[in-house]
Structure formats: structure tokens, C-alpha cells
Amino acid sequence: MYPEELRYTETHEWVRVGDNVAVVGLTDHAQSELGDIVYLELPAAGTEVTAGGEFGVVESVKAASDLYAPLSGEVVGVNDAATGDPALVNRDCYGEGWLVKVELKDPSELENLKTAAEYKEFIGA
């Protein structure tokens, strides 16, 4: 449920880093708590995001919830498949339901994120 190779935020985003580009998504815990996700508002490619800053919104039937950037950098990819079919995030939050790709400004920020074990402890899983 919480892949070891990912890093996590307290605001329930996950990060997968490779070649200085981080893929960002929503954790299984978050998608499950939100329930049926019906709307995603994501930044356009080229947008600068700051670690801890809002970068988008996820809405389930029940509620709207802000998305926070795990790391600072420039958005270099947006998952249009997920904005077109937000239920992808429910079905495959670590795969097809990824949200954005961010080119890292400061890879040392990764150290501020939680490991899978730390995240699991944080959510009491």
C-alpha cells in the first residue's frame, strides 16, 4: 500500500524521484479517505511550485482538498488522463493515477520527506 521506494508528505502526497524529476501523486490513504474522486485541478506545465505550497485541488463527491507540493521546482508534466478521469487516482494512485512531474530545484529537500515506514506510522497504518 505504501511502496518502499517512494517518499511521502504529511499532507498525503507521494514522490518518486529519478533523473532529477519527481513524479508526484496522492497516497492510498488519501484516496481512500477522500472516496470517489471526481475532479482534479492541476497546474499547467511550466508552473513553479514551492515545497509545502498549494499546487492544486482534488475533489471527491464529499469534499475539496488542497494538494501541496512535496518539493520545489518546475512542473514539467501533468497527467491529463487523470484530470480527464479522476477515478484513476482511486484505482491506481501509485501508477496511472499520478498527478504531476516536477523538475527539482533543490534535491536536498527530499530529506524532509518521510519514508514509507515513517508515513505508515504517521497515519497509524
Partner 1 sequence: MAKAIKTPLYEKHVSLGAKMVEFAGFVMPVQYTGIIDEHLTVRENAGIFDLSHMGEIYVSGKGAPAALNNVVTNDVEKLKIGKALYTPICTPEGGIVDDILAYRDADEEYMLVVNATNIEKDFEWVAGHLPRGLAVDDRSLETALVAVQGPQSELIVSEALSEDLGEVHYYEFIPAIVDRVPVRVSRTGYTGEDGFEVYVDAARAAEVWDVLYDLTTGIGGVPVGLGARDTLRLEMKYCLYGSDIDEGTTPLEAGIAWTVKLDKGDFIGKGPLQKQKKEGLKRKLAGFVMVDSGIPRHGYDVINVDEKGIGRVTSGSYSPSLRENIGLGYLDLPYDEVGTEILVDIRKKPRLARVVETPFLKLLAGK
Please state, in angstroms and as integers, the Cα–Cα distance from residue 57 to each residue in 66, 106, 107, 120, following that order: 4, 24, 24, 23
**Binding piece for partner 1, criterion CB under 8 A, among 17-25, 44-52, 57-65, 71-79:** 57-65
Q: Judged by CB under 8 A, does residue 35 bind partner 1?
A: yes
Interacting residue with partner 1 among 3, 20, 41, 118 (CB under 8 A): 41
Interacting residue with partner 1 among 57, 81, 117, 125 (CB under 8 A): 57
The smaller minimum CB distance to partner 1, of residues 58 and 102, is found at 58
The smaller minimum CB distance to partner 1, of residues 7 and 27, is found at 27
Using CA atoms, how far apart are residues 74 and 11, in angstroms rounded to an integer?
20
Strands of the 7-8 sheet, one edge to the other: 7-8, 13-18, 21-26, 100-104, 73-78, 48-49
CB 71 within 8 Å of CB 109: yes
Instruction: Kindly list the residues in this chain that would bind partner 1 in the complex (CB under 8 A).
Output: 35-36, 38-39, 41, 57, 59-64, 90
